[in-house]
Copies of this chain bind each other. A is one copy, B any other.
Amino acid sequence: MQKPSLPRGTRDFGPEQMVKRNFIFDTIRRTFQKYGFQPLETPTLENLSVLMGKYGEEGDQLLFKVLNSGNFLDKIETADVEEGYKKLTPKIAEKGLRYDLTVPFARYVVMNRGELTFPFKRYQLQPVWRADRPQKGRYREFYQCDADIVGTDSLLCETEIVAMLHEIFAGLSINDFTIKINNRKILSGIAEVIGVAGKEAALFVAIDKLDKVGKEKVEEELSEKGLSDASIKKLQPLFAPMTSNRETFENLKDWLQNSQIGMKGVQELETLWRMIRTMGISDKKIQLDITLARGLSYYTGAIFEVKAGGVQIGSISGGGRYDNLTAAFGVPNLSGVGISLGVDRIYDVMEELQLFPENQSVTTKLLFANFDAAGETYSLPLLQKARQAGINAELYPESSKLKKQLDYADRKKIPFVVLIGSEEIASGQLTLKNMTTGEQQKVTAEALIDLLK
């Protein structure tokens, strides 16, 4: 007999974890709805033709691929096998597992664009799968929570995202966080003014690591990648310690004054800052971070990233504006902006900082102890009355020893137990035990329900 096990990088969520996870999901969902986003769910299985080529070469490798059902070898020749697994894969696997929520969303928009109302605002809370090497805080199956608006390039959308992030983290009691914001156009402007307009990707892959490896290593990498000393020298303002947003804006306008696209980026962010203030939100938790690049490849405007303070955990949210997400499916020039929240990391932050509210367990409020058949018969209609009054209630299914039943209530965190023995049946005065204080009191059936409902 083999002991059953879970695949690496996957997890079961038992009752206690589920309650905490649902608290996070509910808070996010409620906020998304309050801002006019509507729910969408896409299937776990997508055609690999939809997924492949959208996440870079590494992403293609990390996609979980599903073996065609039936005889998948039917049309396979020995020669196909000899060509190696990469060429064989598309011949025996047509489908894969959802890798993120963005590409399926783009597919959905393209397939349904005739019926959708634009600007289309949707949210999506679903698991995704990546064949990454599992490690602490990195799973192969994990949830993403995304909200996107497509069909408008209005900066109001960016403003709304910043407001939503504030509301979500307030709802979760995560009060120490920083929303880092940049703009792809600023990054392009920097590339322009230091004279490496064609080498943006290499530049920003290196800069993105600044936090982790420091200035010297970044400069080393840039040099290896062929940036001239002159270019690297011109890059120095990027390494200036961050002070206030106002100062960063001023320095940036000075630095990028000869780059049209760079100045456009600055202007967009100044508008964003102004709208955020107009909304009544202080910019204390917002930081203009010109070293923020994130999946630079498809962002075209604002770039967002959120870090929680007081913990050593990576970013808990990220997103940005993209202008060509649906282009891969034949619909160009549909601008959108979105934000993605990492539930698993948010969970870890809240655990570490002990931010989960107490008494959140979805549990029974009232347990009817079970002494004998007579008590059971007496309890059954009462049990239903309690439930009809909205009280989560259960009757212990067997007439076991009272200690065992109280232990059950204790372990399940049930706050009240009602004891119904022959004496209680005769008098109509039931014994209600408060499991928190240990106190017992006599109550009638009616009073019991009034008390707990």
Which A residues are within 8 Å of any B CB, using their own CB?
1-7, 10-15, 18-19, 22, 33-36, 38-47, 49-50, 61-62, 64-67, 69-74, 76, 78, 81, 84-85, 88-89, 92-95, 97, 107-108, 110-112, 117, 119, 121-122, 127, 129, 131, 140-141, 149, 152, 154, 156-157, 159-160, 163, 167, 275, 278-281, 329-330, 362-364, 367, 376-377, 380-381, 383-384, 387, 390-395, 397-398, 408, 411-412
The answer to whether A44 touches B6, judged by C-beta atoms less than 8 angstroms apart, is no
B117 adjacent to A411 (CB under 8 Å): yes
* B47/A12 in contact, CB under 8 A: no
Distance between Cα atoms of A135 and B46 in the complex (Å): 19
Q: Check B392 against A279 for contact (C-beta < 8 Å).
A: no
- Pick from B61, B81, B97, B279: contact of A383, CB below 8 A: B279
Let me know if A62 and B66 touch, CB within 8 A: no
Compute how far the CA of A364 lies from the CA of B117 in the bound complex, rounded to whole angstroms: 13
Contact A35 B394 (CB under 8 A): yes
- Determine how close the nearest CB of chain B comes to the CB of A272; give it in whole angstroms: 12
Knowing A36-B392, A380-B275 touch, does A43 contact B73 (C-beta < 8 A)?
A: no
Assuming A66-B97, A154-B398, what are 14 further A-B pairs, CB within 8 angstroms? A4-B47, A7-B46, A15-B38, A33-B392, A34-B392, A36-B363, A44-B141, A64-B66, A67-B89, A70-B131, A73-B81, A119-B408, A156-B395, A280-B381
Q: Which of B42, B97, B329, B362 contacts A12 (CB 8 A)?
A: B42
Among A6, A94, A157: residue with most chain B CB under 10 A: A6
Across the two chains, which residue of chain B brings its CB closest to A65? B67
Question: How many monomers of this protein are in the complex?
Answer: 2
Q: How far is the CA of A367 from the CA of B117 in the complex (A)?
A: 14
List, in ascending order, chain B residues with CB within 8 A of A119's CB: 397-398, 408
Taking CB atoms, residues of chain B closer than 8 Å to A122 are 15
B279 touches A381 (CB 8 A): yes
Chain B residues near A46 (CB, 8 Å)? 6-7
Tell whether, in the assembled complex, residue A12 and residue B40 are in contact, meaning their CB atoms are under 8 Å apart. Answer: yes
Closest 5 CB pairs of A and B: A36-B394, A154-B397, A10-B43, A15-B38, A69-B131
Q: Which residues on B sit within 8 Å (CB–CB) of A412? A: 36, 38, 117
Whether B1 and A152, one on each chain, are in contact in the complex, defined by CB atoms closer than 8 angstroms, is: no
Q: Are A36 and B364 in contact (CB under 8 A)?
A: yes
* Most B Cβ at <10 Å: residue of A67, A119, A152, A390: A67
Are B69's CB and A67's CB within 8 A? no
Cα distance A152–B383 in the bound complex, in angstroms: 19
Tell me if B38 and A6 are in contact (CB < 8 A): no
Complex CA gap A95/B97 in Å reads: 13
State the CA gap A62–B69 with chains docked (Å).
Answer: 7
A44 vs B141: C-alpha distance when bound (angstroms): 8
> Who on chain B is nearest to A409 by CB?
B117
